[in-house]
Structure 1
Amino acid sequence: MLLGLLFALAAGLMWGLVFVAPVMLPGYAPALLTVGRYLAFGLVALPLALLLDRRALRELAPSDWWEAAKLSLVGNFLYYLCLSAAIQRAGAPLPTMIIGTLPVVIAVCANHRNRVRDGQLPWAKLAPSLGLIAAGLALVNRDELHALQAEAGDPRRYAEGALLAFFAVACWTWYPIRNADWLRAHADRSPRAWATAQGLVTLPMALIGAVLLAALHLAAPGTLIPVGYAFPLGEKPWAFVGLMAAVGLFASWLGTLCWNEASQRLPTSLSGQLIVFETLAALAYAFTWNQRMPPPATIAGVVLLVAGVMWALRIKPQKI
Structure 2
Amino acid sequence: MWIGTFYALVAGLLWGLVFVSPLLLAEYPAALQSVGRYLAFGLIALPLGWLDRARLAQLTRADWIEALKLAAIGNLLYYLCLAAAIQRAGGPLPTMIIGTLPVVIAVSSNLRGSAVVRQRDGRLPWARLAPSLLLIGTGIGLVNHVELTALRADAGVDLGRYASGAALALVAVACWTWYPIRNADWLRAHPDRSPRTWATAQGLATLPLALAGYVLLWAFMTASGSDFAMPFGPRPEVFIGLMLAIGLLASWLGTLCWNEASQRLPPALAGQLIVFETLAALAYAFVLRGSAPEPMTLLGVAFLVAGVLWALRSRPVPAATEGTP
**TM-score under structure 1 length normalisation:** 0.90
- Give me the whole-angstrom Cα distance separating, in 2, the residues matched to 1:3 and 1:42: 28
Distance change in 2, residues 1:149/1:219 (3 Å): same
Match of 2:207 among 182, 203, 210: 203
CA contact (8 A) 1:86 1:95 kept: yes
CA contact (8 A) 2:22 2:83 kept: no
- Give me the whole-angstrom Cα distance separating, in 2, the residues matched to 1:188 and 1:70: 21
Is 1:214 aligned to residue 213 of structure 2? Answer: no
- Give me the whole-angstrom Cα distance separating, in 1, the residues matched to 2:23 and 2:86: 15
Which residue is 1:36 aligned to?
Answer: 36
CA contact (8 A) 1:10 1:258 kept: yes
- Give me the whole-angstrom Cα distance separating, in 1, the residues matched to 2:85 and 2:285: 21
Q: Comparing 309-318 with 22-31, which one deviates more in the overlay?
A: 22-31
How many residues align? The count is 312
Distance change in 2, residues 1:221/1:115 (3 Å): farther
Is 1:188 aligned to residue 192 of structure 2? Answer: yes
1:10 counterpart letter in structure 2: V
User: Any gaps of 5 or more consecutive residues in structure 1?
Assistant: 223-227
- Give me the whole-angstrom Cα distance separating, in 2, the residues matched to 1:236 and 1:163: 29
CA contact (8 A) 1:118 1:267 kept: yes
**Aligned 1:114-129 pairs, distance under 5 A:** 114-129=117-132
Give 3-state SS (helix, strand or coil) of 2:20's partner.
helix
1:311 counterpart letter in structure 2: W
**TM-score under structure 2 length normalisation:** 0.89
Once the two structures are TM-superposed, the CA of residue 198 in structure 1 deviates from its matched residue by: 0.2
Which residue is 1:146 aligned to?
Answer: 149
Once the two structures are TM-superposed, the CA of residue 111 in structure 1 deviates from its matched residue by: 1.9
Once the two structures are TM-superposed, the CA of residue 267 in structure 1 deviates from its matched residue by: 0.8
CA contact (8 A) 1:89 1:160 kept: yes
Once the two structures are TM-superposed, the CA of residue 191 in structure 1 deviates from its matched residue by: 0.4
1:237 counterpart letter in structure 2: P
Which residue is 2:284 aligned to?
Answer: 285
Which residue is 1:24 aligned to?
Answer: 24
Distance change in 2, residues 1:21/1:167 (3 Å): closer
Give identity over the alignment, percent.
67
CA contact (8 A) 1:192 1:257 kept: yes
Deviations 1:275-309 (A, max 9, x none): 01111111222222333222212211111110000
- Give me the whole-angstrom Cα distance separating, in 2, the residues matched to 1:61 and 1:299: 47
Is 1:237 aligned to residue 236 of structure 2? Answer: yes
Give 3-state SS (helix, strand or coil) of 2:317's partner.
coil
CA contact (8 A) 2:95 2:278 kept: no
**Aligned 1:1-320 pairs, distance under 5 A:** 1-51=1-51, 53-86=52-85, 94-113=93-112, 114-146=117-149, 153-154=159-160, 162-221=166-225, 228-320=227-319
Distance change in 2, residues 1:18/1:221 (3 Å): farther
- Give me the whole-angstrom Cα distance separating, in 2, the residues matched to 1:194 and 1:235: 35
CA contact (8 A) 1:96 1:144 kept: no
2:295 counterpart letter in structure 1: P
- Give me the whole-angstrom Cα distance separating, in 2, the residues matched to 1:143 and 1:61: 49
Give 3-state SS (helix, strand or coil) of 1:248's partner.
helix
Distance change in 2, residues 1:292/1:252 (3 Å): same
Once the two structures are TM-superposed, the CA of residue 215 in structure 1 deviates from its matched residue by: 1.6
- Give me the whole-angstrom Cα distance separating, in 1, the residues matched to 2:288 and 2:298: 17
2:217 counterpart letter in structure 1: L
- Give me the whole-angstrom Cα distance separating, in 1, the residues matched to 2:102 and 2:79: 17
CA contact (8 A) 1:37 1:248 kept: yes
CA contact (8 A) 1:131 1:308 kept: yes
Deviations 1:262-283 (A, max 9, x none): 0000010010000011111112
- Give me the whole-angstrom Cα distance separating, in 2, the residues matched to 1:88 and 1:249: 23
Deviations 1:160-203 (A, max 9, x none): 65544333222111100010010011100010000000000100
CA contact (8 A) 2:12 2:274 kept: yes
CA contact (8 A) 1:93 1:147 kept: no
Which residue is 1:225 aligned to?
Answer: none
